[in-house]
Amino acid sequence: MREFTKAQKARHAIREFKTLTDAMAIRGFYRPCGKMGRAMEHCLQNLSPEIYGSMNDARIVELKGLEYVVDRLPKGIEECNRIILTEEDPFKNDTLQPTIPLKRRRTCYRVGPNEMCFVITRGLSEIYDILTHMTFLFVEARKINSRMTDDSGSLTIEWTELEKTVHRREPLSDADLDQALWSLSIILGRPYRETRDTFHYLETNKKQHGSNNGLFHLIHRLGQRIDAEQKNRNDAIIIYLTPSLMRIIGQQEYEKKWASDIKQQLIQKNLHRRPIHIVSANLHSLLNVIYGFPALHRAGHPASGSLYDFFHHLRQHQDEIENFAAAHGFLALPDRSGAHIDCQIIDTGKLNGLALHPELDIAIPESEENAPVILVVDYAFGAQAFEIMENLLESYDNGGTTVAFDFSSISIMGKAGILPGDKGDVMLATAHVFEGTSDNYRVNNDLSPSDFPDTEKVFVGPMVTVLGTSLQNRDMLEKFQSDWRTIGLEMEGGHFQRAISAAIIKGNAREDMPVRYAYYASDNPIKTGSTLAAGAMGKEGVKPTYLITKVILEKILVKPAG
């Protein structure tokens, strides 16, 4: 029998995971303790994603992976044994408040003590993301459960100590905390310092954002959930996918409403006849690059140092900057559709007379008549990128009159995993290769290394558009790197390019419209200690973020030659 390579096994595991997820959606439910749930665990364990570290080691609980997942699932998920994924918001006009995860924009509701509802507004990528994280949690929960009792079936001393800590009403003293963490580290099979670091990480997020219940509670409840389902099948964890969920996926209900709201605003502001430049980016980049310097200058806060040193100090002045920007052509468009994508409109015709940062090399339009309009679109999630771009580029029916917009360029900037470099490096896409399919799209990128300072490391080549950041395996990525000479991986680029290509074919976009793709490296998924689970970049991400923003803005508002 032919022996598959590790990369082939990994790709097969991803395809199998996707197939199982699609089958579960058609079936409508599954139990993690059942055959399909076990099959999903088997897929994930065969894949052995880098981001989940030591998941396959039955002796230890994977703490960095746990931090990553807890930040992307709603508070209290460990307490629930009924998980519902639905396509519509059942509590939109009710008094029940949504629970938004710390690092993933999704609407969730805690319905009673044991039930959690996820509202799926961002397509299949969101379903894969949720089920991947839930599968990881079940794997770790079983490890924890195995540490509850000793060989005789009695509760271990460490588990008894954990229960005392969880049920304790008064705060722990420093000495008691050290003892509790020591006992917990034995349950987790991790060194004391690693356990303490994860405790403080979750505790900080708990106090600042209310985003989790703390490490002691989390571990205790995960172990108890498995114990409860082993004793009584009625307490078994079950995940439901509502019958209409898969029917609505692909109908783009949320994205159609999202695009319609934006176009209505452009028409109401009489901006629809002007050149419109779409920029997919975070919502502080262009705002700060354009308005940060004049806003602080006007407010009497002198700026010193280089452009990138200046941006380090803007966070404490965001209200001043936004108020100043609102008086000079800036309009915030919070999402009203449920797509979870906020936008901004920047009318560059209102920038005349502003004292921009001296290192910003752009031409301010002298008149408003043909001044470019910049539409800043916050990050999409996976396949949702296709849906928002397809709807955005279509003409608009304005009360019986068809309005066609002049989309003059599309710029996609963001963060991605890098394969040949390090955090903070820049990647320029020449193509997008879809993971697991034969689909690939060449890109005539309007950006080149010559647009960036010689001091920066800029990599040029194909990018892999992946099914999910949690479904990545070192062997598979190294195979992509050797076969396709890929430089990085991300989740949206291929979907954006597919929509742009479709718009050109349909006549909704010009064939010669400049397209730009630039990413900065947030992690290196094949480098130990540098995956997304290792934590956010922090200040490391400031320079590459604003460097790419500056280059894109200088392309849109290019100075005349000579």
- Look up residue 116 and give its two tokens: 């959690």
Sign of the C-alpha dihedral, residues 205, 209, 215, 216? Answer: positive
Question: How far is it, in rounded angstroms, from Cα 105 to Cα 101?
Answer: 7
Question: How far is it, in rounded angstroms, from Cα 181 to Cα 177?
Answer: 6
On whether the CB atoms of residues 190 and 147 are closer than 8 A, the answer is no
> Helix 124-146 and helix 35-47: axis angle, to 10°?
90
C-alpha triplet 144, 70, 468: angle, nearest 5°: 105
Q: What does the pLDDT read at residue 244?
A: 75
DSSP-based three-state secondary structure for 409: strand
Question: How far is it, in rounded angstroms, from Cα 436 to Cα 229?
Answer: 35
Residue linked to tokens 């079950």: 238
> Helix 192-209 and helix 63-70: axis angle, to 10°?
10
C-alpha triplet 452, 456, 457: angle, nearest 5°: 110
Burial class, 82, CB count within 10 angstroms (exposed 0-12 / middle 13-18 / buried 19+): middle
On whether the CB atoms of residues 388 and 340 are closer than 8 A, the answer is no
Q: What does the pLDDT read at residue 558?
A: 86
DSSP sequence for 69-108: HHTTS-TTGGG-SEEEEESS-TTTTSSPPPB--TTS--EE
DSSP sequence for 445-490: BS--GGGS-TTS-EEEEEEEE-S-TTS--HHHHHHHHHHH---EEE
> Which among 542, 479, 483, 551 is positioned nearest to 517, based on CA atoms?
551
Output the pTM of the full model: 0.89
Greatest alpha-carbon pair distance for the chain in Å reads 85
Q: What does the pLDDT read at residue 528?
A: 62
Residue 109: strand pairing partners: 117
Over its length of 562 residues, how does the chain's per-residue pLDDT go in tens digits? Answer: 567 787 888 888 888 888 888 888 888 888 988 899 999 999 999 888 888 888 999 999 999 999 999 999 999 999 999 999 998 888 877 888 899 999 998 999 999 899 999 998 888 889 889 999 999 999 999 999 999 999 888 999 999 999 999 999 899 999 999 999 999 999 999 999 999 999 999 999 999 999 999 999 999 999 999 998 888 888 889 999 988 776 666 566 889 999 999 999 999 999 999 999 999 999 999 999 999 999 988 877 766 667 777 887 787 888 899 999 999 999 999 999 989 999 999 999 999 889 888 888 898 888 888 899 999 999 999 999 999 999 999 999 888 889 889 999 999 998 999 999 888 999 999 999 988 777 889 999 999 999 999 999 999 999 999 888 777 778 888 888 888 899 999 999 999 999 999 999 999 999 999 999 999 998 888 776 666 655 555 566 688 999 999 999 999 998 766 5
**CA-CA-CA-CA torsion for 189, 194, 196, 202, nearest 10 degrees?**
-100
> Which among 510, 473, 492, 462 is positioned nearest to 45, based on CA atoms?
473
Q: Note the pLDDT tens digit of each residue in 118-128.
A: 998 888 889 88
- Look up residue 284 and give its two tokens: 């502080």
DSSP-based three-state secondary structure for 491: coil
Q: What does the pLDDT read at residue 57?
A: 93
Q: What does the pLDDT read at residue 148?
A: 93
Residue linked to tokens 């975070």: 282
According to DSSP, the β-strands at 82-86 and 107-110 are: unpaired
- Look up residue 465 and give its two tokens: 């558009």
Residue linked to tokens 């639905």: 86
- Please report the domains of the chain, with CATH numbers, ordered by start residue: 6-247 (no CATH), 252-556 (3.40.50.1580)
Question: How far is it, in rounded angstroms, from Cα 324 to Cα 347?
Answer: 14
Q: What does the pLDDT read at residue 469?
A: 76
DSSP-based three-state secondary structure for 213: coil
